[in-house]
DNA sequence: CTGTTAGCGCTTTCAT
DNA sequence: ATGAAAGCGCTAACAG
């Protein structure tokens, strides 16, 4: 027995296919009694509409495509969760892709996702390739960039300035009296968020006349906790007099903190440590890590609301508009910088 | 100018639609010269095939649906990553959903995903509702259950026994000389993986004649690091003489460890701590946490290989088969239990 | 409120 | 190696 289709339901209910279609669609005009009868038949036959046919006919996929660097990152996971739960109220499903922080992989995925005719494309700002930028600009679906504040946005933005946030964090360290501040970052430098944070650090150091920035580019992103431990060893070797280490992200900072403790270096007494992102581990560990608090869920939620508002009748007009949504972030001083 | 379709490409290249279709499909018979010419036109027009039409016509969606409890869990994220990267070689895309550990949400998502006609459905064993079980059993696509070893599998399985692993971990604690071992778990009990781990603990305690199990069901899953800190306070209040705490998962264990250190309780001297899952934090922290090592990527990879092998011409036969793939896990003793 | 007619853009199937 | 015809299962657009 093959899977039943709309015509089978129509026959069994004694109506036309079109009436069945209407019975299954929320806001359509149909007699309540007819709908009841049809839904009963649907239930009995175990009928489920074929999305592909629906999509082809209606020219809407019901998809939103979202690209993040990694799923294995609590921040992006939280953004994706919030995005998903926000748009599913509008009957949309999120197609998630991960770039592994690789521009080439991102390029391929953008192409594949575009074939699925998503109703919107949400991407994480992280140094797109030229081809990716071209595809995004040419795409006939709304594009939302998130997690940074691009200098030249493709269309919509939901983000914050990683550079400014890192600069503020550096200033916090300086205000607390630290003077020989090192930065542990990633080797990538092509418009990635990590590079922006490094730039913010370097700008603050230079403007404060603290001499040349002490930058240790440890590895390609993402830098893990265990790599953070290695990184501190190298920083201490290169700048034995360092009194503070600022990290490109919280996992890295946790590694640095742990390595300091393993070597009997008092934090924050002899060494301050700061991270970026407000991962749970930073709030839980001893001492708690000073970090930049980013509301990852809010980014996903705002992106979702934007996407949801972009579809529907007003579509044609809405697609032309450009929304730039700034998500507030803040430095949160905690024990690791002498709080 | 509207987006070009296959007929436009065919016209521009002076061939039929069918020939264009063949040019775009890997293993189809077509003159190399013709293909070259067509691909050039495709490039020039920026043509991209409409997946929905392809799906409808060919009756294959190119999708694999995967359901995990949470994306914000490094283990599931890693499984999803490996699954995705394994199947994308076969031209499949993974549609990811998260249940938030809620059976009702899972039920809804299984229904929605099934409408997309995925070529396989991969679900995490975590106490399905009766309706979910029914849908899975009735689904005309291969179903893979992962991350546990169900007593009555729906079809394919890629997993391990959470209960046996927890029992082994408990025995490890007993062998190390701990006698007053508490378990910090989740409040859910309906076939979840957390419940299986608790059962494994309880079985080992009973069999060793160590008196009644000391179970503290702290909160619904997932238990966070910060909740782990709370949990230790409550465990110490209830059983002041406890000498070991075994946790349902690593984040919880890290919280317990941190809280012990915050209270000046020596780990492992006065209190042992153990987790489950081998999250990175457990390997990085001081002392490192004894845990059950689960190769999350291997689960995703094996599930992906299984899914990829299930499609294609041999399909009809293959669908009837049942593969039960056991993923080896092991207790890894580390500093937190006196290693 | 319900039905009829025409496709949506591709692939299948069969010719040639 | 290529083409022509016939749908895939649904919804848009109009009629009644």
Structural domain boundaries in chain A? 6-45, 63-160+296-328, 162-293
Q: What confidence category does residue A148 fall into, taking pLDDT thresholds of 50, 70 and 90? A: very high
Average pLDDT over residues B268-288: 97
Average pLDDT over residues B222-230: 97
Is residue A193 scored above 90 in pLDDT? Answer: yes
Q: Does the beta-carbon distance from B74 to A72 stay under 8 Å?
A: yes
C-alpha of A19 from chain center: 41
Q: Give the three-class secondary structure for A156.
A: strand
Chain A residues inside the 8 Å CB shell of B225: 280-281, 283-284
The confidence score (pLDDT) of residue B78 equals 97
The confidence score (pLDDT) of residue B314 equals 46
Residues of B (59-98) placing their beta carbon closer than 7 angstroms to any atom of strand D are: 59
Is residue B294 scored above 70 in pLDDT? Answer: yes
Chain B residues inside the 8 Å CB shell of A53: 56
Return d(Cα B171, Cα B161) in angstroms, integer. 15
Is residue A72 scored above 50 in pLDDT? Answer: yes
- CATH 1.10.3720.10 fits domain B63-160+296-328: no
- A229–chain B Cβ distance below 8 A for any pair: yes
Q: Which has the minimum average pLDDT: A164-168, A188-192, B21-25?
A: A188-192
The confidence score (pLDDT) of residue A190 equals 82
Query: Which residues, numbered 271 to 330 in chain B, qualify as contacts with chain A under a Cβ-Cβ cut-off of 8 Å?
Result: 280-281, 283-286
The confidence score (pLDDT) of residue B24 equals 92
Nearest to B226 among A112, A224, A283 (CB): A283
Q: Which helix (H) or strand (E) holds B255?
A: helix B250-262
DSSP A188: -
Q: What percentage of chain B has pLDDT greater than the value 70?
A: 96
Please give the class, per CATH, of domain B162-293. Answer: alpha beta
Nearest to B115 among A51, A114, A285 (CB): A51
Q: What confidence category does residue A17 fall into, taking pLDDT thresholds of 50, 70 and 90? A: very high
The confidence score (pLDDT) of residue A26 equals 83
Q: What number of residues does chain B have? A: 339
Q: Does the beta-carbon distance from A140 to B3 stay under 8 Å?
A: yes
Nearest to B284 among A95, A226, A284 (CB): A226
The confidence score (pLDDT) of residue A313 equals 41
The confidence score (pLDDT) of residue A127 equals 85
Residue A50 contacts strand D, CB under 7 A: yes
Q: In whole numbers, what is the pLDDT of chain B averaged over residues?
A: 93
Residue B176 contacts strand C, CB under 7 A: no
Q: What confidence category does residue A38 fall into, taking pLDDT thresholds of 50, 70 and 90? A: very high
Q: Does the beta-carbon distance from B80 to A71 stay under 8 Å?
A: yes
Q: Does the beta-carbon distance from B117 to A283 stay under 8 Å?
A: no
The confidence score (pLDDT) of residue B313 equals 41
Q: What confidence category does residue A115 fall into, taking pLDDT thresholds of 50, 70 and 90? A: confident
Chain A residues inside the 8 Å CB shell of B71: 71, 77, 80-81
Phi, psi of A246 (to 5 degrees): -110, 135
> What positions of strand D are covered by protein, i.e. any atom < 7 Å from a CB?
1-5, 7-13
The confidence score (pLDDT) of residue B191 equals 87
Return d(Cα A326, Cα A324) in angstroms, integer. 6
Q: Does the beta-carbon distance from B138 to A98 stay under 8 Å?
A: no
Is residue A219 scored above 80 in pLDDT? Answer: yes
Is residue A64 scored above 80 in pLDDT? Answer: yes
Interatomic distance A148 CA / C10 C1' (Å): 39
The confidence score (pLDDT) of residue A314 equals 46
Is residue B261 scored above 50 in pLDDT? Answer: yes
- A31–chain B Cβ distance below 8 A for any pair: no
Return d(Cα A272, Cα B170) in angstroms, integer. 39
Q: Is B162-293 the same fold as B63-160+296-328? A: yes
Q: Does the beta-carbon distance from B70 to A61 stay under 8 Å?
A: no
Residue B237 contacts strand D, CB under 7 A: no
Closest to A265 measured CA to CA, from A235, A291, A292: A235
Interatomic distance A10 CA / D16 C1' (Å): 20
Is residue B272 scored above 70 in pLDDT? Answer: yes
Q: What number of residues does chain A have? A: 339
What's the gap in Å between the CA of B209 and the closest CA on chain A?
36
The confidence score (pLDDT) of residue B74 equals 95
The sheet carrying A143-146 orders its strands as A93-98, A63-68, A121-124, A143-146, A156-159, A324-326
What's the gap in Å between the CA of A97 and the closest CA on chain B?
8
Q: What confidence category does residue B28 fall into, taking pLDDT thresholds of 50, 70 and 90? A: confident
Q: Which helix (H) or strand (E) holds A157?
A: strand A156-159
For B127, residues 6+ apart whose C-beta sits below 8 A from its C-beta are B103, B188, B190, B191, B192, B195
Closest to A337 measured CA to CA, from A282, A294, A299: A282
The confidence score (pLDDT) of residue B92 equals 92
- B137–chain A Cβ distance below 8 A for any pair: no
């Amino acid at each position: 027995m093959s899977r039943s289709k709309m015509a089978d339901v129509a026959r069994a209910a004694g109506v036309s296919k079109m009436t069945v279609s209407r019975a299954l669609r929320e806001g359509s005009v149909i007699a309540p009694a007819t709908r009841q009868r049809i839904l009963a038949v649907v239930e009995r036959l175990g009928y489920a509409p074929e999305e592909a046919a629906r999509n082809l006919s209606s020219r809407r996929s019901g998809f939103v495509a979202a690209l993040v660097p990694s799923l294995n990152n609590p921040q992006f996971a939280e953004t994706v969760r919030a995005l998903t739960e926000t748009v599913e109220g509008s009957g949309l499903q999120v197609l998630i892709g991960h770039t592994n922080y690789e521009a080439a992989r991102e390029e391929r995925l953008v192409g594949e996702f575009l074939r699925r005719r998503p109703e919107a494309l949400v991407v994480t700002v992280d140094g797109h390739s030229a081809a990716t930028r071209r595809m995004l600009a040419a795409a006939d679906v709304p594009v939302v960039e998130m997690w940074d504040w691009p200098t030249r946005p493709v269309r919509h933005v939901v983000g914050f300035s990683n550079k400014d946030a890192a600069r503020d964090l550096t200033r916090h360290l300086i205000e607390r009296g630290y003077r020989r501040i090192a930065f542990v970052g990633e080797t990538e430098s092509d418009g990635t968020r990590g590079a922006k944070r490094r730039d913010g650090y370097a700008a603050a150091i230079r403007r404060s006349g603290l001499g040349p920035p002490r930058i240790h580019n440890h590895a390609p992103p993402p830098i893990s906790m265990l790599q953070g431990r290695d990184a501190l060893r190298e920083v201490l070797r290169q700048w034995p007099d360092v009194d503070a280490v600022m990290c490109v992200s919280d996992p890295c900072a946790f590694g640095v903190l742990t390595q300091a403790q393993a070597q009997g270096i008092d934090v924050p007494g002899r060494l301050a440590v700061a991270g970026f992102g407000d991962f749970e581990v930073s709030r839980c560990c001893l001492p708690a890590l000073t970090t930049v608090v980013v509301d990852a869920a809010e980014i996903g939620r705002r992106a979702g609301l934007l996407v949801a508002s972009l579809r529907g009748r007003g579509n044609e007009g809405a697609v032309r508009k450009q929304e730039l949504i700034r998500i507030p972030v803040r430095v949160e001083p905690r024990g690791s910088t002498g709080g």
